[in-house]
Chains A and B, each alone.
Chain A
């Protein structure tokens, strides 16, 4: 089942003298449960594409359909609500709320969705245990290592069972051991929860783990490889 359909999407930035085609006529689709990486050099359009997929930026032309909904037509609070219920984010620098514990950070999105406390507790405990932090529920981010914080961020992104998760350079600030641990966890959760993961990355280890690698250059798809 197609979770995401990108149809001939362009993003053009108008600088004072020059037009920049950050994304130039990209068409793609992603199925449920995919574990895909978008790679390319700096300036290839990976982050711009990811931002548009996440509804944080609008395409200049083309369509992005998520679960059949054209997110380009959503505005204001409708777009924000769509993100809340359908898209999970994992950021490069974790972006946990420093005053909340691991548990509270993880359940944050579910709280905004109005999920009951009982359901939240169950889901949060389940996820934090799955990422290996079952004994650190009440730890604040400043008590966790970089790898542990990123695992909490993954748990947070998964907590509300979104349609897919966007991870922008999630391993960029981690050492190799933490990266391996994180990728293993994400792969495991991808299998168990059947949630699509889309990475934007330079990290070869991520590329190695990914089941599909999409290479971008100058805003266009250079290659789209599905591994066996």
Chain B
């Protein structure tokens, strides 16, 4: 029983640890490779209000340093400003980033998260803009239409036949927003079918209106308003809906035509290093070399991310400690029963010359052995599960909206290091030893003569 209890406890603890670490690891990766990078350099004055006239001084000198500095994998210069965007049906605001596409793709994985179009490829008469899926939603650039093509390719395992027959009655009308589409669904579906399938149908029959035009309002470096128009040629979707709503990308050279900035005038240089620790170290080195610039590491740009990194392991271990605490009582109970059932045997052992030290270590060793056996079984089992789930992921997409609002992925890939397994093993051994002290002391207090008389 001890072995099974420990096995299940360890499995639960390691899986909880793996899921939590996986979640946090994914959040950190997404944050760094989509949002903040490892290091950012700014003009100190830019950090107050993000006004574009506060560009980084000595840009040429800085890029020469970055080109040769160890720890720098890639960097991307950016112009950054707040802009208002308007379409025929809606308006919204976001941070507009002017980037060099090639360099940007070396520091950011936004281009990997495209759901439509491309990332600033080619030259066009009307310049391109890449927006987030939430921005597309806000600007009503997501339309809904029951097309024949989509009806033909619908997965009949996801939607029953009668539902598909009903929705075909909607026809090929295009709906500009989700509410209108859902209203149409309500008219053709029964109450239960609507409740069950409306969200998934909206998702399935939605499409982005790429090539839509967006009118942008922004301030140039003199403070004057300018009104460029861009065409949506790329839409991305990350695991952070807030980021998706607040960031859009255009070609820097194009943006400079409107802002009046020159090639060497940038607001931000985003840098990627080899790993998170190297990034933090790089920021320190750059701070010393560029004292007149504002150099910030990812830990400063996102303190909550730094906290997750620092505390995620600790919090995981706290979960495991709680589980082991409960297990300890199970071990105590079982070992106590074991001692009470073997009173006569223990009396005999003491009679023939087993001293107290040996009796004590006999009970302790048994307990540790049982606990360790259960732990090894639990870790083997959880190791297999983590190995499988780290490839397939655990799907929490039923709650994806909530997760993505906080910046977390809805599909989590659990992640456990060998150090975690080693740490848990040590904790299990310690738990087994501590839990066996009371039963062992009980054994020591036995009187050999009385014990031998026990039936």
Contact = CB atoms under 8 A, between A and B. Distances in A.
A56 to B, nearest CB: 5
Interface string B223-236: 00000000000000
Interface string A41-77: 0000000000100101100000000000000000011
A167 to B, nearest CB: 13
Nearest to B455: A93
Interface string B332-368: 0000000000001100111111111110000000000
Contacts, number: 48
Nearest to A113: B353
A112 interface: yes
B184 interface: no
Nearest to A84: B353
A51 B350 CA distance: 13
Contacts of B448: 56
A42 to B, nearest CB: 14
Interface string A87-109: 11101010101100000000011
B373 to A, nearest CB: 15
Nearest to B359: A80
A81 B348 CA distance: 14
A77 B356 contact: yes
B345 A95 contact: yes
A83 interface: yes
Given A56-B448, A91-B452, A112 B348 contact: no
B90 interface: no
Interface residues of B, number: 16
Contacts of B349: 97
A188 B355 CA distance: 31
Contact of A51 (B348, B352, B449): B449
Contacts of B350: 80
Contacts of A108: 352
Given A51-B449, A91-B452, A112-B358, A84 B352 contact: yes
B351 A83 contact: yes
A11 to B, nearest CB: 12
Contacts of A51: 449
A105 B235 CA distance: 77
Contact of B353 (A93, A98, A109): A109
Interface residues of A, number: 23
B347 to A, nearest CB: 8
A80 B350 CA distance: 7
A85 B354 CA distance: 11
Contacts of B452: 91, 95
A22 to B, nearest CB: 12
Nearest to A47: B449
A154 to B, nearest CB: 13
A97 B345 contact: yes
Contacts of B355: 77, 80-81, 84
B352 A89 contact: yes
B353 A91 contact: no
A88 B348 CA distance: 11
A88 B349 CA distance: 12
Nearest to A83: B353
B344 A95 contact: yes
Interface string A152-177: 00001000000000000000000000
B357 A77 contact: yes
A80 B353 contact: yes
A56 B352 contact: no
A89 B345 contact: no
15 contacts: A54-B351, A76-B356, A77-B355, A77-B356, A80-B350, A80-B356, A83-B353, A84-B352, A84-B353, A84-B354, A85-B353, A95-B348, A97-B349, A108-B352, A109-B353
Given A89-B352, A95-B452, 18 more contacts: A54-B351, A56-B351, A77-B356, A80-B353, A80-B355, A80-B356, A84-B353, A85-B353, A89-B348, A91-B348, A93-B344, A95-B348, A97-B345, A108-B352, A109-B352, A109-B353, A112-B358, A156-B352
Those 7 A-B pairs whose CB atoms lie nearest each other, nearest first: A84-B353, A95-B348, A80-B355, A83-B353, A56-B449, A77-B355, A56-B448
Interface of A: 51, 54, 56-57, 76-77, 80-81, 83-85, 87-89, 91, 93, 95, 97-98, 108-109, 112, 156
